[in-house]
Structure 1
Amino acid sequence: MKKCILSVLVSLTVFLSGFLGTNHTYAATSYSMKAAAIAQKYVGVPYKWGGISPSGFDCSGLVYFSFRQAGKTLPRTAGEMYSKGTAVSKKNLRNGDLVFFNTNKKGASHVGIYIGSNKFVHSTSKGVKIDSMSNPYWSRVYHGSKRM
């Protein structure tokens, strides 16, 4: 009887694993959530054009650094990042999604990491900070979001 039950359980496990497969969405979400937590640790770090280290970040440098520390390498610039990932609507944002802004009339020119509660972390001329997606300026220049 025990062999029969064991055989059924093993068969059922093998059968179901074919349907479930590997959950790539979970892995992507895990990197993204880690990157969001990492970026928040650097609030207050000064802005540095081209900066990709804790001594100074530009916007895409903060995102690049945070994701790399989380184990995922992204392209270096906001525009290149925008060309990757899966588009996600503003109402479906999740912690770790990238939010893009058109600050110079040339497409995605600024990037931050969504951290939940309608907020995102990014680097501006005032350094790494957290802002609201509802801020009138950021609302007006919002360009789109991507899930990496």
Structure 2
Amino acid sequence: MAQLGTPGSEEDPSTNPNRSTTGSTSDLVSRRSLRAERVAPVSNSARTVEPAAASPAAKPAKPAAKKKIKGGVINVAVMTLAAGLIATMAIPAYAFNPQGADGAQFKASAIDGMKKAQSQSVEVPQTVAAASVARDTSSATTEEQLATQKAAEAARQRAAVSLASYASSYSGPSVTDFLANPPYPKFSLSQVFSVAQQYIGTPYVFGGSTPAGFDCSGYIMFVYAQFGISLPHSVSGQAARGTRISIQDAVPGDVVIMPGHDGFYAGNGNIMDAPDTGRSISIRPIWTSDYYIVRLGI
């Protein structure tokens, strides 16, 4: 038996004044038996759960739980914000990436299909006319043209001076006077030619219609006015007033019509006319085949 005072030995009642000595030896319990009672299993039926009493030491756990919940909310917010930033950055990158269009469930348009298709041919009917191309051309006035223009301008100025002097030099009856009181009321072509011959030698004056000076149509107008026949002061107008006849039927007194010029037919292929500036009324051969004959007064 172990000695008293050592672990595992029985306690001496004499050494513990707090213990009662009146009990039996069976009431004495060794430390080994107490230890066995501590580790002995407790049945589920006999186990009772007593509610833990609230103690002041348990209160600090609540702030820790709140702190844990708050940290979880912050983590969720941070993850949501990060996901939003990533999505925002990915949108423009996807928008400018043509290779991502198929992945985004965009169907190919008809134009894309035509671009990816093979080359095609178009037949143009032969009835389509080729477009005509015209090139701009430039022209310059030659020295000859300049000289001609200067000569024409000088002739016009001379004609104006001649017409001014012509108007002041003639004081006889005008065409209007003859139409109002014709000196030859009986019309005949031979008489017309005879009156016209009286003005041979009269100078040519542009626009003239009196014995002070005649132009071609003014000469014919002045002569026919003496027979009471009114004619316009123009070649085309006088041609329109007459009746066209064949050249073989022409007699002196008929009118020869040329492009821009006319005169009296003088017989045998000749013309009596007021030619141009610097020349006078005379009889001369017809120099061209481009003419025809009209007859007035019938």
2:227 maps to 1:70: yes
Q: Percent identity?
A: 31
Counterpart check, 1:113 vs 2:261: no
The answer to whether 1:45 aligns with 2:197 is no
Query: 5+ unaligned residues in a row in structure 1: which ranges?
Result: 1-26, 103-108
Q: Displacement of 1:33 after TM fit?
A: 2.6
Determine the structure 1 residue equivalent to 2:218.
61
Cα deviation per residue 1:8-64 (whole Å; 9 max; x = unaligned)? xxxxxxxxxxxxxxxxxxx76x1x332221111111110000000000000000000
Residue 94 of structure 1, CA deviation: 1.3
Structure 1 residue corresponding to 2:284, chosen from 116, 119, 131: 131
Q: Alpha carbon RMSD of aligned pairs, Å?
A: 1.6
* TM-score of the superposed pair, with normalisation by structure 2: 0.35
- Structure with greater Cα Rg: 2
CA distance in 2, matches of 1:76, 1:85: 14
The one of 139, 142, 145 aligned to 2:293: 145
Which runs of at least 4 in structure 1 moved beyond 3 Å after TM superposition?
none
Query: What is the number of residues matched between the two proteins?
Result: 109
Deviation digits for residues 71-111 of structure 1 (CA, Å, limit 9, x no counterpart): 32222211101112111111211121100111xxxxxx101
Q: Which has the higher strand share?
A: 1
114, 119, 122: which one aligns with 2:273: 122
Please name the residue that 1:19 is paired with.
none
Say which SS state the counterpart of residue 67 (structure 1) adopts.
helix
Amino acid at match of 1:42: Y
- Show the counterpart of 2:252: 95
* Counterpart amino acid of residue 288 in structure 2: S
What is the CA–CA distance in structure 1 between the aligned matches of 2:229 and 2:237, rounded to whole Å?
15
Cα distance in 2 for partners of 1:75, 1:54 equals 18
The answer as to whether partners of 1:86 and 1:146 remain within 8 angstroms in 2 is yes
Counterpart Cα distance in 1 of 2:237 and 2:229: 15
Counterpart of 2:294, as a letter, is K
C-alpha contact (below 8 Å) 1:34/1:70 kept by paired residues: no
Instruction: State the Cα distance separating 1:112 from its structure 2 match.
Output: 0.4
Unaligned 5+ segments in structure 2 are 1-185
